[in-house]
């Protein structure tokens, strides 16, 4: 089958290898190395179809540290783009949260909008393209129905005005059209800045665009719902919101801050489960501790725990419920890891079987070595296994005298250590009442 695989572009090949050697997910070429997880992909495909049909979706992608959550999310993002959705993605960080009071939530929104992608612009910064497409469609309809463009824009965005912030959102889109018509580039830039959440004060927004509101820490979810309806009006299937590194909420030292973020997650979950959100899907990537920890995880919030409870029938039968809001990433089988190493070898050879650095025998020997070193962790959390294999290929490529069987026994494979979950120092000054209790 290797002979049927297409050759890789040098740029794509280098991007994959550099990312894997650094232990991070490649942004391109995932189709060349993807293996396994067929059921999980099928489940997310159904979610994408539901979003296109006017529904909503909410999933927590749960997996151990190094098990491939980020890779899986990137793969689903590529599939969503091919299905005609608009995607936005970001990693949570200390300065980027779902809820905050010091600008961290607005930072997250700005990062999401910077990463807004479409099929024709998969690398982000596509907000201007989406607005231009909406304007183009409005001009076509105005010409066909002999109306003014402003009237068509207002009628198409009328449904948005019923939502929180929708009136100003529609006004900003109209301002972009006005800037386009009058060749006022500054007005167009200001409109895009507002859509990206880059205005920090209402005064600046009012002077630039005549609107009375901006994206704030407390309104990012409302604006995401507006964006989902707007991209639909622009001709796309809907909006897919992807947040990774959710463990950063778990690491918040303040209980009050954690609860506020969990309340926002609950709000999104309720809207999706109750059908009150349209054309929008949420995918959140996190570790089991982030979800199950009864003291600091999502399950510490009772309302979320009850809604995210496992299907007891599926658990009793020893099967996985792929319709649950929680999607646990299954471990790769040893056979799938073998295929994965074969794919990596193929990528390293730029898709040319004649340039393979190691034979099939080396793949089996390498996996046997990994099994002896770290046990079944080599396929449960395969990041370190992949990194070590690519590093070995890099050494073989640079030295013609070294042989693969000489290197394999020297490769030191370490079991994946969860660096996302350090000991957390609790801020006792805010809200832990028992922290001040003394005998």
* Of 216, 222, 213, 192, residue with least CA distance to 125: 192
Phi, psi torsion values for 426, nearest 5 degrees: -85, 135
Two structure tokens written together for 167: 């009136």
d(CA 303, CA 259): 11
Q: Which two tokens stand for residue 142?
A: 């105005």
Distance CA 180, CA 189 (A): 10
The residues of the chain scoring below 70 in pLDDT are 1-7, 66, 373-381, 409-439
Burial (CB < 10 A; 0-12, 13-18, 19+), residue 252, is buried
pLDDT for the residue 6: 55
DSSP-derived letter for residue 299 is G
Angle at 148 between CA 146 and CA 149, to 5 degrees: 115
Model pLDDT for residues 250-303, shown as the tens digit of each residue: 888 899 999 999 999 999 999 998 988 999 999 999 988 899 999 999 999 999
The reported pLDDT for the residue numbered 380 is 56
- DSSP assignment of 159-215 equals GGGGSTTHHHHHHHHHHHHHHHHTT-HHHHHHHHHHHTT----HHHHHHHH--S---
Residue 429, pLDDT score = 39
Chain-centroid distance, C-alpha 29: 16
Residue with tokens 């080396």: 362
Task: Provide the pLDDT for residue 379.
Answer: 53
What's the pLDDT score for residue 435?
46
The Cα 89–Cα 108 span in angstroms is 10
Tokens coding 416:
């994946």
At 116 the three-state DSSP class reads coil
| Three-state secondary structure call for residue 425 | coil
Give the other-Cβ count within 10 Å of 112's Cβ.
24
Task: Find where tokens 């922290």 sit.
Answer: 435
Structure tokens that stand for 285 in this block: 């990537």
Q: What is the pLDDT of residue 382?
A: 74
Helix boundaries (H) for 349-432? 360-374, 377-380, 383-398, 404-408
- Six-digit token string for 334: 């040893």
286 contacts: CB under 8 Å, gap ≥ 6: 60, 61, 62, 69, 246, 247, 250
Q: How far apart are alpha carbons 96 and 41 in whole angstroms?
A: 28
CA distance 40 to 321: 10
Q: Are the CB atoms for 299 and 305 separated by under 8 Å?
A: yes
Residue closest to 244 by CA, chosen among 77, 361, 122, 84: 77
Number of residues that make up the chain? 439
Q: Which tokens in the block code for residue 221?
A: 């979810």
Residue 94, SS3?
Answer: coil
């Amino acid at each position: 089958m290797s002979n049927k695989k297409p050759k890789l572009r040098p740029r794509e090949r280098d991007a994959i290898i550099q990312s894997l050697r650094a232990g991070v997910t490649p942004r391109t070429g995932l189709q060349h190395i993807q293996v396994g997880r067929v059921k999980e992909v099928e489940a997310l495909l159904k979610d994408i179809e539901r979003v296109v049909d006017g529904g909503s979706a909410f999933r927590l992608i749960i997996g151990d540290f190094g098990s491939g959550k980020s890779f899986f999310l990137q793969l689903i993002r590529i599939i969503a783009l091919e299905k005609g959705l608009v995607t936005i993605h970001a990693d949570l960080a200390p300065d980027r949260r779902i809820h905050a009071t010091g600008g961290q939530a607005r930072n997250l929104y700005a990062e999401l909008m910077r990463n807004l992608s479409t099929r024709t612009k998969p690398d982000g910064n596509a907000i201007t393209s989406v607005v231009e497409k909406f304007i183009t469609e409005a001009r076509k309809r105005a010409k066909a129905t002999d109306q003014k463009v402003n009237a068509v824009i207002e009628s198409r965005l009328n449904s948005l005005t019923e939502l929180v912030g929708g009136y100003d959102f529609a006004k900003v889109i109209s301002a972009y059209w006005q800037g386009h018509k009058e060749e006022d580039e500054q007005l167009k830039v200001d409109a895009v800045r507002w859509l990206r959440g880059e205005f920090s004060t209402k005064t600046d927004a009012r002077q630039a665009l005549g609107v009375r509101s901006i994206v704030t820490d407390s309104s990012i979810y409302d604006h995401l719902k507006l964006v989902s309806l707007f991209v639909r009006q622009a001709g796309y299937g809907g909006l897919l919101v992807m947040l990774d590194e959710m463990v950063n909420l778990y690491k918040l030292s303040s209980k009050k801050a954690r609860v506020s973020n969990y309340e926002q997650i609950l709000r999104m979950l309720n809207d999706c489960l109750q059908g009150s959100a349209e054309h929008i899907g949420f995918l959140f990537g996190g570790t089991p501790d982030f979800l199950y920890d009864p003291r600091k995880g999502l399950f510490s919030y009772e309302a979320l725990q009850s809604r995210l409870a496992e299907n007891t029938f599926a658990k009793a039968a020893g099967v996985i419920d792929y319709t649950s809001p929680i999607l646990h990433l299954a471990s790769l089988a040893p056979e799938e890891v073998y295929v994965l190493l074969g794919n990596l070898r193929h990528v390293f050879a730029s898709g040319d079987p004649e340039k393979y650095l190691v034979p099939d025998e080396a793949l089996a020997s390498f996996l046997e070595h990994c099994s002896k070193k770290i046990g079944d962790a080599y396929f449960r959390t395969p990041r370190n296994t992949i990194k070590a294999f690519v590093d070995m290929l890099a050494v073989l490529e640079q030295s013609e005298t070294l042989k693969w069987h000489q290197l394999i026994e020297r490769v030191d494979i370490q079991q994946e250590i969860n660096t996302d979950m350090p000991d957390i120092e609790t801020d006792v000054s805010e809200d832990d009442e028992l922290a001040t209790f003394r005998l």
